[in-house]
Structure 1
């Protein structure tokens, strides 16, 4: 494969990648994912800030509450199958039609169940809040449209994420224009929830088109009951981990919305939005190197651990690059982006931005657990993080509001991503590698 971009690299980097076709392929794939996220970070941040300013903290808090409810139940729709599907298609490409067809069927059924659970939970938690119920019912369609991300997994297995970028960015740009039009038209809150579902629907159509463009046909997919049971037997720990993960990722906003005011939640959500902008970095990198990590384990254990250490070092370094300047500039950033109505989000952002460092390493650690097929261990790690988050939110939110929720999130991220590794002997080597990355992070 000819990668013309290599000639534009500095000499010391060019020497490292010249002649290494697999590395070039990974870097190209990572570049596409980074481009996707950079576009979303730029356009999405601008449009998101515009919407937050228009709605104000209270209405923005209601929209964030609905989004968090859908996010918690999205793990059910995904079924914990993402990494398993990529792994199986890499290992057995001749069976990809059966794998994709079976997974798509499972996800459609699971997404419908997730939708009903999300709406039901909202009616239970907020029986008298008609607006929140409608927002969740409208935004919940993202769960059903998300089942088409099965096609995304096929592109991941081929390290061809540019086609996913084409599909999802087109949907994102169209939906962003719609959101901007809604602000100009002074549309009601429900319209913004519908715009979110529109993006996922358009992305599903785009993925189908890109799949067909690559000479593939969904009509050739086949459903195999035996394969379905096998995939579910492999994925149930990841399903539970995904549920628990989404709980500890979003329970802060749900608990804050239940225990405080929508205004406080809106302010907190603005800080979360800034902190989470950077989550694409570890996801993009790990998505690109995951297939090679699997191959390295099968051929050379020393190389396998060497690649993991480099991955930890890089992600810790990038986490510090983001967290340190944001700590000192949080007040300016919040005021510049969201205005004085959200000024109290600054101390929340200072705390939340440090969760990015732990989140970065957790993504890489999870890739290691997947390569080792230690899915049950991942479940335990995530459960401990979620338990810590719920307990800390229960203790801190009533007294400190959004600041307490932010502190709870940082601590729980550390527990799930790093601290809990010391409790399980086979993971202490991994814990040591992550500690070295904390102490001596490196770019290369």
Structure 2
């Protein structure tokens, strides 16, 4: 505890990190994140609608399916360093340990670049061998998708670094704002030059946007770090970082399975067109929890800091303040989708109306997740990853089994049910575990016992 904090306590004065201060920090960071996420979500939806309209349900389905595969390839390439950077870099920054922070970022990028490059080369080679060298729409789409893996991996690590440095604006702007604009612009430019508007052209346009947005984000990170790290020799704790990252990578993999496996299995078990239609429902349902995600960009470092100081009351305030704001917004968006969801889906094309019921089921799962609050973040940022890992693995297994059982007979509705049930399962379990292990209630409006 700092001398200033001790003096404040002795004088029975409000702590500098008291309720009002905590709310202001969350409100300030959350507002910036909310604005960026709002604009980014709007641009992302505009991009998806434009792609669906230009490519048709079949072409959009191919694009969405390859994008999902790329997402699954990127996650092991990160080796869990994205979450490790948020967790450790926030603590290093607070303690002024810039040499360790520099070493962490450098080592994370080294591992990420090596693994993602290998995955990209293998993926492209497999695609070319299977195609027999024929550059069809499908071949170009898959090859261009795999080519984006290294920069997507490094961009995620850079985003985590800026998040830990509390630069909420530039942590999100390159990916959420600049990338969709560049994708739409590149696709429009290609079409004006006479290129066929198909999934391959769309993926090449996306690849161009990934390159340019990565360069912008990397320049910003360098400028943020330079004043603190100039002339410093990096310090490395590679074994410790790998131990943490490995555990966190397992959790990240489970999150990915819970969020995207149904989209992938839809393409494998039915067809890529169904994947595209279902993917639109998944993207719209994510609107329910996007405020919660925006607030989490600010809340994650605060969770790490308050726990590192042993300030459990402050940690509880972070959970309550962020949880309530996130859930109230989620409830409003859920109501909006229930009323106008079918109309919104119509923007993608007539075939997308079939995703209305799956959209409501997915949105209900996101609403419940928002009500359960920051349970996963608290577990991760306080070192309770073992319990989280067990819960997520169990939920991922349930998700996979439900998908396998329900998708063949119920299609998109079955995939939505599988996703929402597994989300409800792990969130409920983690609310109970975090309360028992830390004494922290993460629900938006927790049920307090007499002991509390």
| TM-score, normalising length: structure 1 | 0.83
What's the counterpart of residue 280 of structure 2? 270
150 and 260 in structure 1: CA distance in 2 versus 1, 3 angstrom threshold? closer
What's the counterpart of residue 105 of structure 2? 100
Q: Does 1:434 align with 2:450?
A: no
Contact 2:306–2:315 (CA under 8 A) maintained in structure 1: yes
How far did residue 425 of structure 1 move?
8.4
Give the whole-Å Cα distance in 2 for the aligned partners of 1:124 and 1:221.
Answer: 47
Question: What does 1:365-384 correspond to in 2, within 5 Å?
Answer: 365-384=375-394
Deviates more, 1:259-268 or 1:123-132: 123-132
Once the two structures are superposed, residues 333-362 of structure 1 have per-residue CA deviations (whole angstroms, 9 ceiling, x without a partner) of 222x22322221111111111122244356
Contact 2:323–2:442 (CA under 8 A) maintained in structure 1: yes
What's the counterpart of residue 333 of structure 2? 322
What's the counterpart of residue 144 of structure 2? 138
Contact 2:23–2:321 (CA under 8 A) maintained in structure 1: no
What's the counterpart of residue 207 of structure 2? 197
Give the whole-Å Cα distance in 1 for the aligned partners of 2:442 and 2:25.
Answer: 27
Among candidates 239, 242, 249, match of residue 239 of structure 1: 249
Give the whole-Å Cα distance in 2 for the aligned partners of 1:209 and 1:434.
Answer: 38
296 and 107 in structure 1: CA distance in 2 versus 1, 3 angstrom threshold? same
Give the whole-Å Cα distance in 2 for the aligned partners of 1:360 and 1:221.
Answer: 42
Contact 1:138–1:197 (CA under 8 A) maintained in structure 2: yes
Among candidates 279, 282, 302, match of residue 313 of structure 2: 302
Aligned length: 420
Helix, strand or coil at the partner of 2:80: coil
Give the whole-Å Cα distance in 2 for the aligned partners of 1:231 and 1:363.
Answer: 27
Question: What does 1:2-401 correspond to in 2, within 5 Å?
Answer: 24-92=24-92, 93-95=97-99, 96-116=101-121, 132=138, 134-146=140-152, 147-168=154-175, 169-182=177-190, 185=194, 186-214=196-224, 216=226, 227-297=237-307, 298-335=309-346, 337-360=347-370, 364-401=374-411
Contact 2:371–2:443 (CA under 8 A) maintained in structure 1: yes
What's the counterpart of residue 3 of structure 1? none
Contact 1:238–1:376 (CA under 8 A) maintained in structure 2: no
How far did residue 236 of structure 1 move?
0.8
199 and 245 in structure 1: CA distance in 2 versus 1, 3 angstrom threshold? same
Contact 1:102–1:227 (CA under 8 A) maintained in structure 2: no
Unaligned segments of structure 1, at least 5 residues: 1-16, 440-444
Give the whole-Å Cα distance in 1 for the aligned partners of 2:362 and 2:80.
Answer: 26
Give the alignment's Cα RMSD to 1 decimal.
Answer: 3.4
What's the counterpart of residue 7 of structure 2? none
